[in-house]
Amino acid sequence: MKRHIPNFITLLNVLCGCIATVFAVKNQLEIAALFVFLGIFFDFFDGLAARALDVKSELGLQLDSLADVITSGLVPGIVMYQLLSMAIHGGWNTGATSVVTETFTESISEMSWFPFLGFLITMGSAYRLAKFNIDENQTSSFVGLPTPANAMLILSFPLILRYHNNDLLNDIILNDVFLIVTTLLSTFLLNAPIKLFALKFDNWSFKENALRYIFIVVSLVLILTIKFMAIPAIIFLYVLSSIVIQLDSRKKVE
């Protein structure tokens, strides 16, 4: 019976991804973000449960990646599509319904294909997850930005628009150049040959997990001080600190 517990938690991630997809298509991006974050929560604890119960399996590995394709791949692609649509149609204040309605009532010949570039994120996520499943070297660390981290980055933008309500931030986020550069950078980082540390705890020892504990504490401080703006800052810190650690390790070897 216990061997089914991690897989059930993973299926909760699938459910959250499906619900988030519905709300993302409706352009209710804050609710979509909520269910993506909830799915990522389940994604973290299914692996923790598998290790705690000692029931890790090939089925669980495949199921986990399939769940991530939805929650951390498809949904961020839809959200980027919606953000690019907003950038074209006049910004955040146009309202969710007007953007979605206009998109579906336009004729094919008049429709802008520019927002579909957002699905490069979905494509990059699917490729990254497939590559992860056949790579035996990504156990204690990752090569490329994990899809949940990338999803949090993309989903942070509508939350910043809604809850920070800063004209400068709004202008930056809903700038088509910023969005397309973010899309390309996101897709690149997902599959970049950059070794990033994993937030996986095999035990609770501070000595063995000092970097993870420090990163979590710094992240919490950022969240408490700058709220949703903390998410891009945390992702940047995560990538930067991993690169610094990798360069330092190479110097020691040399």
Q: Is the pLDDT of residue 103 over 60?
A: no
Residue 104 has pLDDT above 60, yes or no: no
Across 196-233, b (16+ Cβ under 10 Å) vs e yields bbebeeeeeeeeebeeeeebeeebeebeeeeebbbbbb
Q: Is residue 123 part of a domain?
A: yes
Question: Quick check: is 156 in a domain?
Answer: yes
Distance CA 32, CA 37 (A): 9
Task: Indicate whether 213 pLDDT > 60.
Answer: yes
Examine residue 246 and state whether it is found in any structural domain, yes or no. no
* pLDDT at residue 253, rounded to an integer: 62
Domain count, the chain: 1
- pLDDT the model gives residue 188: 97
3-state SS of 175-208 is: CHHHHHHHHHHHHHHHCCCCEEECCCCCCCCCCC
Per-residue pLDDT at 202: 63
Burial class (CB in 10 A: 0-12, 13-18, 19+), 236: exposed
Residue 105 clears pLDDT 80, i.e. is over it:
no
Is there a domain that residue 249 lies in? no
Determine the pLDDT at residue 152: 97
Query: Residue 5, Cα to own-chain centre: how many angstroms?
Result: 24
Q: How far is CA 251 from CA 140, 190, 209, 238, 248, in A?
A: 21, 25, 22, 20, 5
254 has pLDDT over 70: no
Predicted pLDDT at 172: 94
Read off the pLDDT of residues 121-130 as tens digits, 9 standing for 90 and up.
Answer: 999 999 999 9
Q: Rounded distance, CA 242 to CA 248, Å?
A: 10
Bridge partners (DSSP) of residue 197 are 141
Amino acid 242: pLDDT: 87
What is the mean pLDDT of the segment spanning 6-11?
93
What is the rounded average pLDDT for all residues in the chain?
86
Residues spanned by the domain of 148: 2-95+116-197
Q: Which helix (DSSP H) or strand (DSSP E) does residue 79 occupy?
A: helix 75-89
Give all strands (DSSP E) within the chain, no chain letters.
141-143, 195-197
Query: 84: domain CATH number?
Result: 1.20.120.1760
Residue 213 lies in a domain: no
Residue 19 lies in a domain: yes
User: Does the pLDDT at position 99 exceed 70?
Assistant: no
Structural domain contains residue 103: no
Asked whether residue 233 is domain-assigned, the answer is no
Q: Report pLDDT digits (tens) over 167-204.
A: 999 999 999 999 999 999 999 999 998 889 877 666 66
Query: Which residues share a beta bridge with 195?
Result: 143
Instruction: Using pLDDT thresholds of 50, 70 and 90, give the confidence band for residue 2.
Output: confident
Residues 6+ apart with CB under 8 A from 77: 118, 119, 120, 121, 122, 123, 125
pLDDT in tens, 151-160: 999 999 999 9
**Is the model more confident about 104 or about 226?**
226
